[in-house]
Structures are given as C-alpha cells and as structure tokens.
Amino acid sequence: MTDELKIPSHVAIIMDGNGRWARRRGLPRVMGHYQGAQVAEDIVEYATELGIRHLTLYAFSTENWNRPKEEVEALFKLLEDYLRNKKQKLYDLKIRVRFIGRRDRIPKTLVELMKQIEEESKHFNRLTLNLAIDYGGRDEILRAVRKLLKDNPKVINEETFSQYLDLSCSPDPDLLIRTAGEKRISNFLLWNIAYTEFYFTDTLWPDFTREEFLKAIKDFSKRKRKFGRVIDE
C-alpha cells in the first residue's frame, strides 16, 4: 500500500450548508453565505498551492431562484462585491477565471464584471477557476443542443458535443466534493461527472478547512479508478 498523494487535475465542489451554519448561530442566512465566501477564497488559494489545475465551484444553481427574493438579491450582491474586491488577488495568483451557467437572468453589472474578469485573466494558467453562477446541468445540456442544431455539424460524438458545453476549457472533474451531509448532485455538471469520484462530508461549507480538503484528496488518492475496465488487483 502506498500513501502517495495523487493530486486530482480537476476538483469540483458543491459548497452546501451556509444557511444551516448561520441558523445554528442564530444569524441571518446571508451571514452564512458571507462566511462561505471567505472559505471559498482560502480553498482557491490552497488549490493553487497543491498544484490543482482546475477547480469548479457551485455558487448559484438554476433552482436557487426559488429562494426568497431577499436571499437571491443578497447572494448576487455578495458575489459581485467579492469578485470586484478579489479579482486582483486572483490575477496575482495567476488564476484564469471562467464562468459557467446562464447569463441572461443575472444582474447586468455582474455580467459585465464577469466578462471583464474572463478577459483580464485569460492568459493565466496556474489554475483555471470555473465559477458556476445560474448554472444547471440540464439547462447547460439544452443550451448545447440548441446551439448544435443551429450549427448543424457533420459529426456529433462525445468529444464534439463536449465542446458545446460550458466547461470546454477544463477536463472532466476527477473529484467532486459535497459538504453539509446531502448526498445528491442537485443538477451540477451532469455530463461531466460520468466517471468522477465523489467525496461527501457532513461539515458545513463555512466550517470547511484546508485540512479537510487535503483529507478529501488523500481519500481520492486511495481510489482505484477503473473506467469500466478490469484492473488486476
């Protein structure tokens, strides 16, 4: 048995449990989102230190529109403020930032900022950070199909189809982490997680730490990925 650490090339995270974290402290839910954003910032930095090349974070799902209007508004404000204040730090870390999801329903000022950040960071390649905002896996597949029908390409195979999806700049995730005890996908990256390894933890996202991230990677390192083949033990 080897304890060698295998650094996954692409880690995806469903950052869940902000609301519960706040509730347990008698705080408004938005305080949980605020704390969660700080944790995300630290995990992004740690991912660069570990040599992870792609990190995808689920920030707002197509279903999250069904939350109270005040929470939705607070989430977009937090996202926009955070991106505005932290973009220089991301550039200093040589991070390329990409956004996945729809752009037709979210605040216009946020869309402008997203475009600016994608442009300003496009030549960095230490880590590609994909932020999923108004993202849903089914919505993504439908958008790809509509575009495909318009383009009407001669060949449609898995490789060409993937190029129509939002994550076209990153390989499929090797590891998907979900915090806060829920064991479901909640419409995240449906196409791309065909062979992804899953790691679930009860820790609420605002309590998630570098140590726990490393624990998930150690766990991943022990997995035998078979991709449908027979591997001699």
Binding mask 131-170 for ligand IPE (x = CB under 6 A): ----------------------------------------
Q: Which is nearer to ligand IPE, 97 or 189 (CB)?
A: 189
Angstrom distance (rounded) from CA 98 to CA 170: 10
Task: State which amino acid sits at residue 67.
Answer: R
Q: Which of 12, 16, 30, 170 binds Mg ion (CB under 5 A)?
A: 16
Contacts of 168 (CB under 8 A, 6+ apart): 162
Which among Mg ion, ligand IPE, none contacts residue 52 (Cβ within 5 to 8 A by kind)?
none
Catalytic residue among 42, 64, 85, 166: 64
> Using an 8 Å Cβ cutoff, are 197 and 219 in contact?
no
Residue of 16, 134, 166, 174 with catalytic role: 16
Whether 173 contacts 192, CB under 8 Å: yes
Cα radius of gyration (the chain): 18
187 catalytic, yes or no?
no
Q: Please identify which residue in the block is written with the tokens 């076209």.
A: 168
Asked if 16 is an active-site residue, the reply is yes
Q: Which residues are catalytic?
A: 16, 64
| Site residues for ligand IPE per CB under 6 A | 14-20, 58-61, 64, 75, 180, 182, 184, 186
